């Protein structure tokens, strides 16, 4: 749920908008609490043992203001495109990790000319292209080999490893990939990358996953006599959108990482974490005014000024996004105000599609036209992942507290 402090900040913004708006346009905005973000990021960083390096996965939210807040706290940035490399370069000279299954030649060349410290290898063909580019430029590329594990490691919402996907190299083919890379003078294997899941909520399974990644890395390191000290376990730490009262237990993961630090201290390993959603989701709220409340076929609906073109994730995942209602007492029309009391309600957006749904049959004590819905945990995979211009509605305001 929203903390009292953050709830007060968001509601203070709404109240100010209600008092000073002149056009009468419905309220619709992303509201980011930068102080909350900084405090949360520091807590994550301070909980990690010395053998861990913390990277922010820029794809979760590339907004410059957020990058600026995180820059002094984290060790670097994980990027997956030329655009993300450029965005980070404008605010920081800290190292970057370059991943993604579809790197273009121009992006690889750009990475070699910037603060990109390591590039992930996602396939044999990509390795060949890196070799070719490196030979042309007479440089050596430090790489992490991305592994698609043979075994599924969690029940997370989205899996990139342990199942057939476009990500990484089949674990069974890693020995061949290592052998091929070692034949080139232009490739330097620095370690392995294991990003396997998205939105995992089970901290204990995540600890086991990290241990498995370490053991597999050490096995290949020994088998091929590699000077490869990096184990990149990616991110995938989840936000419990279904039940925010039961969040991912970060302390269990942090304690597990500390135990591994002690266990493998003599191996001189460095553990990389790429945290995105878990880093920034809680600092952002999406607020939208209710335009209409009605009943169709015995089911209640609210239509908001906004929707999945601003916040796509609940429609894409077919979930109810966590929310609370800010009641607005003023009503300026000379006719009855539509409302729903003590009932289950679906909250839909303004788009001309039945897929534009953000909340599905959830109980509300009361919701009226003119009230404001505050969607929590909207700081990650919100605005930039959404189809902004469908139907050409105005964009939401972007507000930083």
Q: Please give the positions annotated as active site.
A: 352
Nearby residues of 311 by Cβ (< 8 Å), 6 or more positions away: 286, 321, 358, 375, 378, 382, 383, 386
CA 11 to chain centre: 25
Report the C-alpha gap between 85 and 98 in whole angstroms: 8
Alpha-carbon span 194 to 148, nearest angstrom = 7
Say how far apart CA 385 and CA 230 lie, in whole Å.
Answer: 30
Is the CB of residue 214 less than 8 Å from the CB of residue 269?
yes
User: What does the alpha-carbon distance between residue 103 and residue 122 come to, in Å, rounded to a whole number?
Assistant: 9
Residues 245 and 232: beta-carbon distance below 8 Å: no
* Calpha distance 370→27 (Å, rounded): 9
Say if residues 323 and 378 touch (Cβ distance below 8 Å).
no
Q: Strand 339-348 to strand 357-368: parallel, antiparallel, or no bridges (unpaired)? A: antiparallel
Q: What is the DSSP letter of 225?
A: T
Rounded Cα–Cα distance for residues 337 and 386 (Å): 31
Distance of alpha carbon 264 from alpha carbon 251, whole angstroms: 20
Alpha-carbon span 71 to 175, nearest angstrom: 37
């Amino acid at each position: 749920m929203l903390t009292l402090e953050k709830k007060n900040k968001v509601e203070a913004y709404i109240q100010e908008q209600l008092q000073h708006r002149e056009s009468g346009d419905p309220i619709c905005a992303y509201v980011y609490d930068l102080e909350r973000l900084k405090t949360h990021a520091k807590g994550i960083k301070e909980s990690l043992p010395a053998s861990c390096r913390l990277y922010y996965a820029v794809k979760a939210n590339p907004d410059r203001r957020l990058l600026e807040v995180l820059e002094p706290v984290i060790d670097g940035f994980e990027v997956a495109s030329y655009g993300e490399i450029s965005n980070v370069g404008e605010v920081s000279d800290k190292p970057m990790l370059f991943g993604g299954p579809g790197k273009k030649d121009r992006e690889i060349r750009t990475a070699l000319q910037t603060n990109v410290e390591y590039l992930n290898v996602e396939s044999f063909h990509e390795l060949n292209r890196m070799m070719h580019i490196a030979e042309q430029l007479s440089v050596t590329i430090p790489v992490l080999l991305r592994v698609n594990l043979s075994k599924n490691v969690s029940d997370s919402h989205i899996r990139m490893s342990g199942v057939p996907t476009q990500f990484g190299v089949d674990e069974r083919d890693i020995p061949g990939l290592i052998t091929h890379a070692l034949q080139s003078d232009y490739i330097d294997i620095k370690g392995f990358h294991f990003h396997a899941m998205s939105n995992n909520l089970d901290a204990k399974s995540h600890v086991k996953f990290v241990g498995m990644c370490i053991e597999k890395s050490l096995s290949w390191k020994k088998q091929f006599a590699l000077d490869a000290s990096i184990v990149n376990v990616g991110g995938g730490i989840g936000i419990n959108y279904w039940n925010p009262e039961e969040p991912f237990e970060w302390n269990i993961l942090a304690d597990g990482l500390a135990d591994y630090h002690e266990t493998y201290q003599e191996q001189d390993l460095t553990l990389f974490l790429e945290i995105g959603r878990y880093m920034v989701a809680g600092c952002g709220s999406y607020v939208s005014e209710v335009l209409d409340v009605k009943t169709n076929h015995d089911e209640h609906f609210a239509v908001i000024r906004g929707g999945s073109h601003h916040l796509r994730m609940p429609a894409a995942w077919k979930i109810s996004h966590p929310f609370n209602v800010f009641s607005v007492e003023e009503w300026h029309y000379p006719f009855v105000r539509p409302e729903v009391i003590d009932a289950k309600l679906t909250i839909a957006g303004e788009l001309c599609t039945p897929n534009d749904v953000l909340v599905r049959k959830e109980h509300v004590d009361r919701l009226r036209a003119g009230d404001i819905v505050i969607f929590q945990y909207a700081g990650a995979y919100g605005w930039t992942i959404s189809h902004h211009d469908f139907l050409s509605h105005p964009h939401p305001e972007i507000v930083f507290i």
